[in-house]
């Protein structure tokens, strides 16, 4: 692995560790501490993720025009400022507004990080994206393990520590990421905006394939994000403590890191991202089947183990395919689009889940999630069929070509 990739890995891990102190507890803070409904909590998280979608698209465009350094630094300046303001102002509406600003700042950073990883290590195939994914989840494990303990002391302290992590990442990026600039920016056409790009794209079939792929990706995230929203509150109703709920995410992060040798072997045997994604989605469905029967911490822990096995197959596969589909000079836009669709799932999921639970209960929510996963399997099959019919894929070099 190139040494420059390690700088991105360290930065991603620091960034996500800080964020993971907060995001698993968002619904609990809004619902239990601010006294708002689950529907309102879903609305707040939807606004946060909606801002992140805008940030993803803007960040991808900035990357393609001016490089990853400016995109990352701009996003971190916004996130650091907002995070420290949150320490002093975290009543209902100030919390909602600052969460939106943090979402936009974070959205600027993520596509640039993925695009830089793919461009720095173009011969790595899925490896640079898997490395970024593992770094993210190492951060989740560290942050979540600390989050429950800190929250039991003070939510204000969580906001402070989150700001310190953002500041640490900012200093790392400011001092080291500029040197990555020359290695990470693709040569290619430059477009004045996303709209201009879409109207003049030379590889329309590749973009259509990306749309099909991402339609299933967003549905998978709608189901997955329930663990961070409705299920977090549901565990509280069952008498599972905050510290135990945080342990679930520690399990998640630990397994993602420790399972990598096995994942590498399994993925090599599959040799096909379609099978990889579909297998992962089926495993997602099994995890929710376990959740429907869970009443104690052990049941949720077992479901989390199963969920994690599914996500290590699905999440790295999508940005890998997007990188292969991207025309030269449009790596940032394609990664921004993938991140924006994932963010859309995280935006819609809490609101949809909150409304269903408030009006119908938990069991109908589980049924809806299973149905969404079935549709996601269908979209993955459609992507594979479209790719075979309209795009030629060279397995040796890992690239799509117009047919």
- Which SS3 state, helix, strand or coil, does residue 259 take? coil
Coil, strand or helix at 2: coil
DSSP string, 99-151: HHHHHHHHHHHHHHHHHHHHHHSGGGTTHHHHHHHHHHHHHHHHHHHHHHHHH
Q: What is the pTM of this model?
A: 0.78
Confidence of residue 181 (pLDDT cuts 50, 70, 90): low
Q: Which residues contact 73 (CB under 8 A, 6 or more apart)?
A: 170, 173, 174, 177
Confidence of residue 288 (pLDDT cuts 50, 70, 90): very high
Query: What does residue 400 show for φ and ψ, rounded to 5 degrees?
Result: -95, 145
DSSP letter string over 197-258?
HHHH-S-HHHHHHHHHHHHHHHHHHHHHGGGTTHHHHHHHHTT--HHHHHHHHHHHHHHHHH
User: 321: buried, middle or exposed (CB in 10 Å: 19+, 13-18, 0-12)?
Assistant: buried
User: What per-residue confidence (pLDDT) applies to 188?
Assistant: 40
Residue 355 CB coordination number (10 Å): 17
- pLDDT classification of 360: cutoffs 50, 70, 90: very high
Burial label, 383 (beta-carbon count in 10 A; 0-12, 13-18, 19+): buried
Q: Mean per-residue pLDDT for 370-379?
A: 97
In the chain, % of residues over pLDDT 90: 35
> What's the pLDDT at 392?
66
Tell me the helices (H) and strands (E) count for the chain, helix number first: 18, 2
List the structure tokens of 102.
């943090």
Classified as helix, coil or strand, 333 is: helix
Residue 251 pLDDT more than 70? Answer: yes
Q: Give the residue with greater pLDDT, 371 vs 59.
A: 371
CA distance 356 to 360: 5
63 touches 117 (CB < 8 A) = no
pLDDT band for position 190 (50/70/90)?
Answer: very low
Q: What is the pLDDT of residue 396?
A: 52
The whole-angstrom separation of Cα 189 and Cα 276 is 33
| Residue 289, token pair as written in the block | 């089947």
Read off φ and ψ for residue 394, nearest 5 degrees: -90, 105
Q: What is the pLDDT of residue 201?
A: 44
Sign of CA dihedral 124, 126, 127, 132: positive
Burial class (CB in 10 A: 0-12, 13-18, 19+), 63: buried
Considering only residues 15 and 402, tell me which one the structure prediction assigns the higher pLDDT.
15
Distance, C-alpha 196 to centroid of its chain: 27
Each residue of 83-140: pLDDT tens digit? 999 998 888 899 999 999 998 998 899 888 988 988 888 777 778 888 898 898 788 7
What is the rounded distance in angstroms from the CA atom of residue 92 to the CA atom of residue 94?
Answer: 6
Q: Report the DSSP beta bridge partners of residue 402.
A: 391
Beta bridge partners of 291: none
Q: Compute the half-sphere exposure of residue 63: CA atoms within 13 Å on the CB side of its CA.
A: 38
pLDDT of residue 30: 87
Q: How far is CA 283 from CA 224, 229, 287, 323, in A?
A: 12, 20, 6, 25
Give the mean pLDDT of 185-206: 51
The owner of tokens 């490089």 is 67
The pLDDT tens digits of the residues spanning 299-357 come to 999 999 999 999 999 999 998 898 888 887 778 888 889 988 988 888 788 889 988 99
Surface-to-core class of residue 37, CB atoms within 10 Å of its CB (0-12 exposed, 13-18 middle, 19+ buried): middle
């Amino acid at each position: 692995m190139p040494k420059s990739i390690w700088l991105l890995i360290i930065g991603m891990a620091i960034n996500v560790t800080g964020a993971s102190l907060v995001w698993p507890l968002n619904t609990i803070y809004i619902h239990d501490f601010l006294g708002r409904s689950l529907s309102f909590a879903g609305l707040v998280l939807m606004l946060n993720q909606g801002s992140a979608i805008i940030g993803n698209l803007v960040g991808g465009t900035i990357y393609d025009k001016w490089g990853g350094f400016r995109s990352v630094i701009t996003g971190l300046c916004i996130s650091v400022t907002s995070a420290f303001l949150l320490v002093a102002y975290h009543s209902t509406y100030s919390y909602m507004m600052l969460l939106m600003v943090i979402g936009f700042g974070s959205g600027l950073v993520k596509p640039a990080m993925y695009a830089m990883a793919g461009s720095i290590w173009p011969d790595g195939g899925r490896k640079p994206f898997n490395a970024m994914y593992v770094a993210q989840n190492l951060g989740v494990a560290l942050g979540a393990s600390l989050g429950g303990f800190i929250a039991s002391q003070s939510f204000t302290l969580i906001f402070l520590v989150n700001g310190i992590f953002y500041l640490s990442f900012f200093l790392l990026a400011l001092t080291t990421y500029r040197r990555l600039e020359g290695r990470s920016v693709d040569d290619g056409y430059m477009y004045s905006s996303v709209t201009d790009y879409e109207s003049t794209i030379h590889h329309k079939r590749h973009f259509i394939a990306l749309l099909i792929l991402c339609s299933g990706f967003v549905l998978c995230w709608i189901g997955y994000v329930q663990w961070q929203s409705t299920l977090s509150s549901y565990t509280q109703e069952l008498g599972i403590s905050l510290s135990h709920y945080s342990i679930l995410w520690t399990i998640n992060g630990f397994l993602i890191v420790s399972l990598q040798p096995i994942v590498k072997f399994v993925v090599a045997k599959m040799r096909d991202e379609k099978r990889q994604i579909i297998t992962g989605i089926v495993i997602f469905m099994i995890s929710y089947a376990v959740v429907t029967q869970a009443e104690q911490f052990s049941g949720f822990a077992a479901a989390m183990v199963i969920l994690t096995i599914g996500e290590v197959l699905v999440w790295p596969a999508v940005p890998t395919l997007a990188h292969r589909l991207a025309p030269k000079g449009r790596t940032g836009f394609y990664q921004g689009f993938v991140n924006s669709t994932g963010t859309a799932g995280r935006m819609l999921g809490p609101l949809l889940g909150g409304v269903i639970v408030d009006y119908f209960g938990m069991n109908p929510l589980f049924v809806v999630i299973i149905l969404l996963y079935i549709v996601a399997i269908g979209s993955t099959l459609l992507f594979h069929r479209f790719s075979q019919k309209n795009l030629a894929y060279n397995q040796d070099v890992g690239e799509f070509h117009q047919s």
